[in-house]
A = this chain, B = another copy of it.
Amino acid sequence: MMSPSDNELLYRVGHGTPMGELFRRFWLPALLASELLEPDCTPRRLRILGEDLVAFRDSGGQVGVIAAYCPHKLAPLFFGRNEDSGLRCVYHGWKFDVNGICTDIPNLPPTFNSSALKDKAKLVSYVTREAGGVIWIFMGPQDKAPELPGLEWALAPAENVHTARWLQQSNWAQGMEGEIDSSHISFLHREFVPSWSIGKQVVQVTARIPPGIVDGAPVMKLKETDYGFVYGARRNTESGDYYWRVTQWFLPMFSMIPNDAFPRTGRAWVPVDDDHVMVFTYGYRADRPYTCEETAYMDAGHTFPPPLKEAAHQLPNGYVIDTWVPQANKGNDYLIDRAMQKTVNFTGIGAITDQDRALQENMPSGFGLGPGRVVDRSREMLVPSDMPVITARRMLIKMAKDLQKGIEPELPWQSTRFRVRSTSAISPEAEFDDFLKAHEEEMRATL
């Protein structure tokens, strides 16, 4: 059970909050590279850690992520003209490059010394990188930007990777926690038959857990590492062997999960603000590119990105972001089919991620708290299978409190130890260390 003050520390991510500052020490996925396809294309509106930002690709192909408003009269730069190496505010023509530098103030009298004004008009901007089909952003002290995380999927050839993103209407933490909760896949994602239909389309199910593994109470084993932790969920099999699922959690909110044929997927939970989270999902394979069929299968929601539609989504405070939203959502009860729930799968909800969202977007914020999308963790009743969740919370809260005291997080980007893979296997090993040793080779990143 978590104290209300620790709960608040965990979920609040705005400027100056302990967790918000901790997130500013990590590279974060900001948008898909495919959203800024060409030089001088349409800008995209973002909100990350409560900050309103605009992303654009300039005439030379460089990506900029800068503050969303012109400093002159605070007009929104999203409506600006992306032209000739900069984004020009359409109100009075002030122009900014990808580094937020003001390069033109055309409505000044000729006698005016514009260079001092331009200096003063520099916008907040954040360094960016492209990797793994994603544009990354570092929002911490710009002179201390570390190396990009060497996650294997971010290093893989583009055709070997599949990425997507969407908006979830909950606090970031209650989404992320579902990633390190092996126990729930025996229930929430359970399927009763090997195929199901969505609309008229009949698709083959890839079971997340092999047939015959009915143990819903896995024993959890966890090892803290420099990048976060690796944990194993061990289930009994009928043959007396063990079914192990070994999963990584990378600070501050990346997951890597074994996923059969795909064969590894994971997500990053980037806080939009206290009430919303942008979910980035990736799948990759080291051996070959994805086929069209595999990509279509993923896009249909059968593995991780749920069926999505592009949207300009207005947040409660009136700010609009450009994103994707799931077709199944709170307004349509996630397209739940109660007959399907009786016989086909455990929830009656089609896509895996929609199953998670149905629960995570509808947790209560407590009596009398009014509108809010942050679960009141002081009311929880945690059990042994929640140990990875408890560990992640503890590590994050400790690091956030340390940072308040001036202790910077020790970032593992310099090490090679996070170059790992998740895996799952039926195996005779009962001990986690033995399993890890036996599977050391297949859990090492090679790209």
Q: Pick from B107, B112, B367: contact of A187, CB below 8 A.
A: B107
Q: Is the CB of B79 within 8 A of A379?
A: no
In this complex, what residue of B is CB-closest to A52? B364
Q: Is the CB of B358 within 8 A of A79?
A: yes
A313-321, A415-423, A429-437 - interface stretch: A313-321
- A383 on the interface (CB 8 Å rule)? yes
Q: How far is the CA of A320 from the CA of B169 in the complex (A)?
A: 14
Q: Is the CB of B186 within 8 A of A93?
A: yes
Interface size counted on chain A using CB atoms at 8 A:
82
1/0 per residue A204-236: CB within 8 Å of B? 000000000000111100000000000000000
- A44 on the interface (CB 8 Å rule)? no
Q: Is the CB of A375 within 8 A of B74?
A: yes
Residue among A117, A347, A382 with the most chain B CB within 10 A?
A347
Which chain B residues lie closer than 8 Å to A338 at the CB level? 42
1/0 per residue A327-371: CB within 8 Å of B? 000110110101001000011010000010011001111011111
A65-73, A144-152, A156-164 - interface stretch: A65-73
Which chain B residues lie closer than 8 Å to A50 at the CB level? 367-368
Q: Is the CB of B107 within 8 A of A186?
A: yes
Q: Is the CB of A92 within 8 A of B371?
A: no
1/0 per residue A258-269: CB within 8 Å of B? 000000000000
In this complex, what residue of B is CB-closest to A41? B338
Q: Pick from B93, B177, B341: contact of A81, CB below 8 A.
A: B341
- A106 on the interface (CB 8 Å rule)? yes
Q: Is the CB of B186 within 8 A of A383?
A: no
Distance from A341 Cβ to chain B, minimum over Cβ atoms (Å): 6
Q: Pick from B78, B79, B188, B364: contact of A90, CB below 8 A.
A: B188
Q: How far is the CA of A445 from the CA of B349 in the complex (A)?
A: 50
Q: Is the CB of A74 within 8 A of B364?
A: yes
Q: How far is the CA of A373 from the CA of B318 in the complex (A)?
A: 8
Contacts A363-B69, A376-B74; is A112 near B186 (CB within 8 Å)? no
Q: Is the CB of A359 within 8 A of B75?
A: yes
Q: How far is the CA of A368 from the CA of B219 in the complex (A)?
A: 43
Number of copies: 3
1/0 per residue A175-188: CB within 8 Å of B? 00100000110111
- A39 on the interface (CB 8 Å rule)? no
Q: Pick from B93, B217, B365: contact of A106, CB below 8 A.
A: B217
Q: Which residues of A contact B (CB under 8 A)?
A: 14-15, 42, 50, 52, 68-69, 71-76, 78-79, 81, 89-93, 105-110, 112, 117, 120-121, 177, 183-184, 186-188, 216-219, 312, 314, 316-320, 330-331, 333-334, 336, 338, 341, 346-347, 349, 355, 358-359, 362-365, 367-373, 375-376, 379-386
Q: How far is the CA of A105 from the CA of B216 in the complex (A)?
A: 10
Distance from A56 Cβ to chain B, minimum over Cβ atoms (Å): 12
Distance from A240 Cβ to chain B, minimum over Cβ atoms (Å): 15
Q: Is the CB of A383 within 8 A of B69?
A: no
Q: Is the CB of B384 within 8 A of A112?
A: yes
Contacts A117-B383, A184-B92; is A346 near B72 (CB within 8 Å)? no
Q: Is the CB of A383 within 8 A of B112?
A: yes
Which chain B residues lie closer than 8 Å to A110 at the CB level? 217
Q: Is the CB of A106 within 8 A of B336?
A: no
Which chain B residues lie closer than 8 Å to A188 at the CB level? 90-92
Distance from A17 Cβ to chain B, minimum over Cβ atoms (Å): 10
Q: How far is the CA of A341 from the CA of B43 in the complex (A)?
A: 13
